[in-house]
Every structure is written in C-alpha cells, then in structure tokens.
Amino acid sequence: MIENILFKLSIMLVPGLLAITCHEVAHGYIAWRYGDPTARMLGRLTLNPLKHIDIFGTLMLVIVGIGWAKPVPVVIENLRNPKKDMVWVSIAGPVTNILLAIVSAGVLRLILMVPPGSGAEINFILQPLSYMVAFSVYINLLLAFFNLIPIPPLDGGHVLMGLLPYRQSAALARIEPYGMVLIIVLVFFTPIFQYLLLPLLMAGIQLLAGPHSLLVFKVASFKVM
C-alpha cells in the first residue's frame, strides 16, 4: 500500500509541480516584459516550486489530479497598455502549459520507440519516465483548457475582459469576486466537464500522443489514495 502511494506520488508530483510553476512564471515574466516588475521584485520569476506552492492546491494535485499554485501578483496599472497587455499576461499561462504538453508528448514518443528488450537497467529508468511524461501531457492540457474557461478569475475570463469593449468588460469584472463559486458550481454540478472539457482534453491527448494516448489515459486515472 505505502509503496503504491509513493510510486504514484513520484509519477505525479514532479510533472504536476512543473506544470503549475511554469504556468505562474509565464504570467509573471510576460507582465514584467510589459511593464510590471512586481513578480520579479518578489522573486517569483523562478522555477523553484517552493516559491509558488499552495499547500491545498498541491494536495488536490496528488489526490484528484488537478491543482494550482499561488497566483503571481500582477499590478495592472503598471502595464503600459493595461487592457490589451493583460490579455497577453493572462494567455501566457495556458499557452505555456500547451507547449509543455507538446514537448512531453514528443519525449513520450521517443521513449516508447526504445525496443522493449533493451536491458533491465534501461527499462527500469524508462518505464517510470514514460509515466511521468504521460502524466505531464495530461496535466498540462487539463490546466490549459480549465484555465481558458472565460470566467474571471480564470485566465480565460481575464482574456475575455481584455477583448470586450469597456462597458461589457467592466460588467464581467464585477462577477470576479464570485467567480470561483460559479466555476465550482459549473464543474461539479453541471455537465460542462463531461461535455466540454473532457472531449477537448481527450482530443488534445489523442492529437499529441497519437498511438500512445491509452498510456496517457491510464496514467491520468492514477489516484494516490
């Protein structure tokens, strides 16, 4: 039992932490490039996960397969063109996750090209590594698609606020304090996950992993407890 939990933790934790860390660093880096140095001044432009970890979000990652980090602070007023630049700051996180999923799928394809009879030592390394990059494909696509839901405070909501005319953008901004409650209701009490997010996720996995999609789905079904 303990060995099984530790094995699953070792598979999920590294790619999961990398996914949420890179997501937040991307927000902070683009904000810095567009005029807001807040994340840089606070030491958040680092891949050190300890700077980004949210304890509850990390527990959710290893228990249910999706989690989050501490949001990188962005002072919108510091941006050179706040409304337009916030679109790029917001989209940077999901785009980074999609790029990580693409790279992970490429690594997975390369690993699985190694002949099965290449030696016990090589298989001892490559099998858990293949599970890790398979989980990386899954978790990065899930984070990207989930965060693109057009409801603030998710990234998709901020992107939509930046694209809408000022009056409609201000109206959407007013729901941000209640956004997480609305998102929880949508995800857990409506079929949005089953009929929207899940088909997108499956299509993305099949597109990137191709013949190895079944391995990704198998690893994605891991539960630590």
In this structure, what is the dihedral angle of CA atoms 83, 48, 180, 36, given to the nearest 10 degrees?
A: -20
Each residue's pLDDT tens digit, 138-151:
999 999 999 999 99
Burial of 117 (0-12, 13-18, 19+ CB in 10 A): exposed
CA dist., res. 185 & res. 136, Å (int): 27
Burial class (CB in 10 A: 0-12, 13-18, 19+), 206: middle
pLDDT digits (tens, 9 = 90+) for 170-188: 999 999 888 888 887 887 7
Q: Tokens 């409609």 sit at which residue?
A: 168
pLDDT at 135: 94
d(CA 213, CA 205): 6
CA angle, 75 then 80 then 84, to 5°? 85
Across 3-7, 12-16, 97-101, 209-213, least confident range: 3-7
What pLDDT is attached to residue 225?
A: 45
Instruction: Please give the model's pTM, rounded to 2 decimal places.
Output: 0.91
Does residue 1 carry a pLDDT above 60? yes
Q: Is 121 a catalytic residue?
A: no
Q: What is the pLDDT of residues 111-136, one digit of tens each?
A: 988 876 666 667 767 888 999 999 99
pLDDT mean across residues, the chain: 88
More confident residue, 30 or 55: 30
Active-site residue among 3, 24, 121, 176? 24
Q: Is the pLDDT of residue 22 over 90?
A: yes
pLDDT in tens, 41-91: 999 999 998 889 888 877 777 666 677 788 899 999 999 999 999 999 999
